[in-house]
Amino acid sequence: MVAIPGFGKTRGGEARGQSRSRSGRRAIFPCIAARTVYSRIAYDVREVQWRGMGYCNRARAVGKSVAIPDPTDEANCRPQRLLDLLPATRAPDSQGEQQMPNEGKRDFKIISADGHIIEPPGMWERYLPKKFHAQAPRVVKDPEGGDAWEVVPGEPIMPIGLVTNRGDWGRRYEDNNWFGTTYENMRHGAYDGKARLDEQDIDGVSAEVLYPSQRTMAAFMAQPDSEYHLAGIDAYNQWMWEDFSTPDRNRLIGLYQIPGVDIESAVARVKEAKKLGVKGLILSSLPSGNADLSSADDPFWAAAEEAELPVHIHVGLKHAGLSEKVGSRKVRVEGHKLQFAVPNLQFMGGAVAEFSGLFARLIYSGMFDRFPGLEMVMMECGAGWVPHCVEHMDDHWWRNRVWSESSLKELPSHYFYKNWKVGFIRENFTVQNRHWFGVDNLLWANDYPHHRHDWPYSRRIIEETMAGVDPVEKFKMVCGNAKELYKLG
């Protein structure tokens, strides 16, 4: 570990925690104190990077104890190519292609259950039928010269700054900006599988579960043309399987997007995914295409159970045609101002409220009695609320099960512990209260390359948030549960 002068000191130079008021707060509120220490460490690390050492610090990049190069030495400091510092970890074959690793020798240590991609320029023209090219999503410029997506012709563009990892990694949160990011200055692992493996290696991450861009998927699902809806979903799935994930599908675990047109189309995609060897499915709307959960969705649940493919829900569900409030989720550019910024912030924090209602409806519907082997994953909706929610559901159900004629065979909590996994990103509360969830039900995630990520410090953040956790339990949360769920080598 490289010693950083001044690390752990306040701006005035005194040691952290020496203030009487701070120490008093620590004594009374230990969980808040732990969170505060973690937050300061994360901030201090970013501040050091911001002050000029970020791209040069090989020790933090590859986990070795080496001296920090002089930041004024151009031979040692190359501000756009941290990947150049990475030792070769996969030998190419004689044709120059990446070899598939020996699965029998695979050693998973950290698996992020929530990673993201952004589609590369030209992808939609390559994978969509030619008749849809005129209406396909395309890359345009934002007001600061960055790249943005026009997902629907004539609609406000969607900048990409907060959903990619900018080349100037390590900047402060105060400098987050939707604008100005281009495909050149972002880290290429957002859209290129081989580069993503390098970025995983830098971060010490063994594998990621990859979710599609829900902004783009929502745009396809909002179209009244069902043929275009299906073509967009199929184009994404084909690109993920044939392009992005091909360097190593056990490390780049691309989820298969399910359309929301009708139940026949949804079931057909489950069968396709199983035949290909995909490891999981993602729902963005109910598979029947209806607005409300009903028995019309049962053929999909049955197909997923039979295929032994876990079904993922990221943040929440929307139905085909999109509800009115989905419009407030879009970041729009109008006169170089972020419109709907406050509703977006409310939505990002309000996923808990949205998902808890969906979670209750799915369990109360009795679908897990009908499909007991079905595996579900809720992701990026927070986790700390779940124990309270299932406790409340148990009490609510027990008091009302008779007059409501509920058909559940077990307490609602039974179905959570048996059928669900829940992801968490930097949640001290969740880690500290892990036994209320059941350690086997938790999946650690880093949300890379979205702006909540802590790349390339995931290992450090894990150590800070899981200090004192039993090593067996820690391994389950950061690796073992995901390894078992996705049947990795």
* 304 or 46, which is more confident: 304
pLDDT at 71 over 80: no
- Tokens of residue 315, six digits: 């943040």
pLDDT in the model for residue 285: 92
* 147-150 β-sheet, strand order: 138-141, 147-150, 158-159
pLDDT at 31 over 50: no
Q: Containing H/E element for 357?
A: helix 341-364
pLDDT at 377 over 70: yes
* 252 or 8, which is more confident: 252
- Tokens of residue 465, six digits: 């948030």
Please state the domain extents for the chain: 1-76, 107-130+188-328+341-485
pLDDT in the model for residue 319: 53
Question: What average pLDDT does range 136-155 have in this prediction?
Answer: 89
Reduced to 3 states (helix: H, G, I; strand: E, B; else coil), residue 462 is: helix
Please say whether the beta carbons of 159 and 178 come within 8 A: yes
Nearest CA among 84, 81, 56 for reference residue 68: 56
Determine if the pTM surpasses 0.95. no
Nearby residues of 423 by Cβ (< 8 Å), 6 or more positions away: 113, 114, 377, 378, 379, 380, 383, 442, 443, 444, 445
- Tokens of residue 312, six digits: 């993922």
- Tokens of residue 116, six digits: 């993201």
Reduced to 3 states (helix: H, G, I; strand: E, B; else coil), residue 113 is: strand
pLDDT at 311 over 90: yes
Which pLDDT tens digit goes with each residue over 379-418? Answer: 988 899 999 999 999 999 999 999 999 999 999 999 999 9
Question: What average pLDDT does range 7-17 have in this prediction?
Answer: 38
pLDDT at 371 over 90: yes
pLDDT category of residue 56 using cuts at 50, 70 and 90:
very low
Please say whether the beta carbons of 442 and 432 come within 8 A: no
Please say whether the beta carbons of 208 and 253 come within 8 A: yes
Cα dihedral: 171, 336, 137, 164 (round 10):
0
pLDDT in the model for residue 76: 35
pLDDT in the model for residue 170: 59
pLDDT at 87 over 80: no
Which pLDDT tens digit goes with each residue over 166-181? Answer: 655 556 667 777 777 8
Please say whether the beta carbons of 316 and 355 come within 8 A: yes
User: How far is Cα 445 from Cα 379, in angstroms, rounded to an integer?
Assistant: 9
User: How far is Cα 113 from Cα 209, in angstroms, rounded to an integer?
Assistant: 5
User: How far is Cα 73 from Cα 187, in angstroms, rounded to an integer?
Assistant: 23
For the chain, what percent of residues have pLDDT higher than 70?
69
Nearest CA among 418, 439, 417 for reference residue 430: 439
Which pLDDT tens digit goes with each residue over 232-273? Answer: 999 999 999 999 999 999 999 999 999 999 999 999 999 999
> What does the radius of gyration of the chain's CA atoms come to, in whole angstroms?
23
Question: What average pLDDT does range 100-112 have in this prediction?
Answer: 69
- What 8-state DSSP symbol labels residue 281? E
Domain formed by 107-130+188-328+341-485, architecture = Alpha-Beta Barrel (3.20)
Give the burial class of 86: count Cβ atoms within 10 A of its Cβ; 0-12 exposed, 13-18 middle, 19 or more buried.
Answer: middle
pLDDT category of residue 349 using cuts at 50, 70 and 90:
low
* Mean pLDDT rounded to a whole number for the chain: 77
Question: What average pLDDT does range 28-45 have in this prediction?
Answer: 37
* 68 or 154, which is more confident: 154
Range of weakest confidence among 86-100, 112-126, 339-353:
86-100
